[in-house]
Every structure is written in structure tokens, then in C-alpha cells.
Structure 1
Amino acid sequence: MGEPVERVDEQDRVVGVVDRDEAIRNGWLHRVATTVCRDPRGRVLVYRRPEHVSRFPGQYDWLIGGAVGVGESYEEAAVRELAEELGVRVPVRPVVRFLCRGAISPYWLGVHEAVVSGPLTPEPSEIAWHGWFGERELREALRRWAFVPDGVDALRRYLALREPTAATPPPTPPRP
């Protein structure tokens, strides 16, 4: 077995252990953990995938992550992936988890946030280029560059959680 992952059902309950490539090939649900990296100024890390990778070569993304291992929590996987792909060990905070239909196959996606203040050591087999973007710059990049489709879906959900809705009344100003 290549990379064992937990196969899960529509409620994210474990139903067995399978090879990740087999899960993708058969459209079986499994788990993926990702992290939005922000610097102390609030900017978001954006990166370009190498041209030689099998999935989404040369496309941009804003989520660092990968498959959740057998017996691993979403948070544990997110922390591990940050160490593997960026060379940093920082705590993560869960933001949203949803059933992502995926461009390649469906999976449960756990999105986390982390503040990264130290130097990065990107893994060249995963990250060809990276930079820090303000949210306005990120939205502009989404219009101009080819981004991983699943990341675009996750970004819409992430930004919707951060923006006040029409039903949310504006804050009451303090009384003098």
C-alpha cells in the first residue's frame, strides 16, 4: 500500500483503511487537512506548484496541506504538512471543515489557520515559488492566475466566514 488513509462516509466517519491513490481513483471519501498561512501583518501565503507534479502542475494555491494519515486528526495532519512543506512548526486553528467534491475526487477538507513569523524553507518538490499577499492582492491574483480549483472553492468559504453578512447588524459604537 502506498499512502494509507482512512476511508470515510458522508458524515466523516471512518469505514476502513485504503490506499490514497485507490481512494482517488474510485472516488472514495477520505480526509485532507490544509492550512492558510498568514504572516504577522495578516498577509496570506500564496505559492505555485512545480511543473513536474502530477496534480495541478504550475498552478497557484493558498492552502498548504495533504492527506490525513491513519489515526491522525485534521489538526495533527495540518501541523505535519506545514513542517514537511514549509519547514515550520506552528500551532494551527481549525476554521472550517466541509465535504469538498474536488476536481479529481471527493474528500473531507479541514481548513486551518496559522500565523507564520519565522523564515520558511519550502520543499522544492511541492513549492516552486511563494509570496505573501494582502486579501485584495489575493483576489486580484485569483482573476489573473490559474489556481487549484479546490483551493478556489475553499477560499470562497473561508472569506465568507470572515466577512460580516447582511443579516449581521453593524457594531454599536461606544457611548461618549
Structure 2
Amino acid sequence: MKLELVEHVDEQDRVVGQVSRRDAVQGRLLYRMAMVLVRDKQGRILVHRRPDSSPRFPGQYSWLVAGAVAVGESYEAAASRELAEELGLRGTVRPLFKFLCEGEMSPYWFSVFETVVDGEPIVAEPAEVAWHGWLTDDELEKAMQEWPFVSDSRDAYARYRALGTSASQPRAT
């Protein structure tokens, strides 16, 4: 596994140093994560299940494509990179919200973006995505109650819903 460097940040999201992601997690040091909500023109949300062999949250579901923000990288650039790496998609990402997440594995700043796709083929990275499918807002709400979702994904979903955002009303990108 390659060394993944991230910026250690403070409670105001200011850079205080550089550290490996492994050390950030083990030391519970704040760092940055970028997440992307992928929707289609019909307003459905892309949901995926992580592989059973994944070292992080094996077999659990998420409604966000996620990854750490690398040293010197912006949240937006990291979101675009994760979209391409995990799903083979290129698209404009638009910021939705950011919050300080306590995190199951480690605390981090969690910045959520969205993109709307229009029929582009999804080429999922097998090491990150074992299954994916499109769910309506109501189907996702039900799945959140029944499926094992990554805890941080659940936290972000509650915040997303509290904003009054509806998956059935996709925004233009």
C-alpha cells in the first residue's frame, strides 16, 4: 500500500502540518475528506456497496464517493479525482456543505459535493465498489433504515436531509 500524505488541520480547517493518513487515523488527528453525491437527471442517487475485502468498512453501503484530500490539493480537486478513480466519471462538482465529522475511524473535515450525470457509463473500481445502483429519495430513505451504511455516510445523510435538499430535484452543474 502506498504512503498517502494528508494535511493535518485544526478545528478551523487550517493546515498545521503534513502526516500520513495512517498516522492521522491512528493518532486521531484532524485531516480533510472530500465526498461526492452522484445524481442522475431523474434525481436518483447513486448508492454503492464496498467490497467485503475492503480494509475500511467492508461490505457496507454509502451514498457518497469519498477520499482523503492530498497534501496541496483542494477539496474540489479531491472530489473530482475520487469521482474519476472510483467510478470512471468526469464531471463538474458543486459544493453542498462541510462539517467537522467525529468519524468512526478518526475525526476529519468532511466536505460534500454533488454532480449530476446524464447517462455516462459508470466504470466502478472493483477495489472500492462491489455493487452500485440508483435509488430514488424514498428508496434511499428506506435503505438507510435497512442496509448497513458506513456511519459517517449516515451522519452526512442526516445533515443533507436537514438542509431540505431533495434528490428528486437535481440541480444543473
Please classify the TM superposition score into its range, dividing by the shorter chain length.
Answer: over 0.9
Q: Which residue of the partner structure matches residue 140 of structure 1?
A: 142
CA-based RMSD of the aligned residues comes to: 1.2
TM-score of the superposition, structure 1-length normalised? 0.91
- Count the aligned residue pairs: 164
- Residue 88 and residue 163 in structure 1: after superposition, are their counterparts in 2 closer, same or farther (change >3 A)? closer
Query: For each residue in 1:99-144, what CA deviation from the matched residue of structure 2 results, as whole angstroms up to 9, or x when unmatched?
Result: 0000111000000010022110000000000000001000111111
Query: For each residue in 1:24-66, what CA deviation from the matched residue of structure 2 results, as whole angstroms up to 9, or x when unmatched?
Result: 0000000000000000101000000000011110000001020
Alignment of 1:25-64 (within 5 A): 25-64=26-65
Q: Residue 160 of structure 2: which of 136, 158, 161 is its match?
A: 158
Alignment of 1:66-85 (within 5 A): 66-85=67-86
Separation in 1, partners of 2:121, 2:16: 40
Report % sequence identity: 56
Q: Which residue of the partner structure matches residue 123 of structure 1?
A: 125
Aligned-residue offset at 1:158: 0.8
What runs of 5+ residues in structure 2 fail to find an aligned partner? 167-173
Aligned-residue offset at 1:162: 2.4
Query: For each residue in 1:56-102, what CA deviation from the matched residue of structure 2 results, as whole angstroms up to 9, or x when unmatched?
Result: 10000001020001111100000000000000110000000000000
Separation in 1, partners of 2:132, 2:34: 20
Which secondary structure does the structure 1 equivalent of 2:163 belong to?
helix
User: Which has the bigger relative contact order, CA under 8 A and spacing at least 6?
Assistant: 2
Separation in 2, partners of 1:60, 1:53: 12
User: Which residue identity lines up with residue 99 of structure 2 in the other structure?
Assistant: F
Greater Cα radius of gyration, structure 1 or 2: 1
Q: Which residue of the partner structure matches residue 106 of structure 2?
A: 105
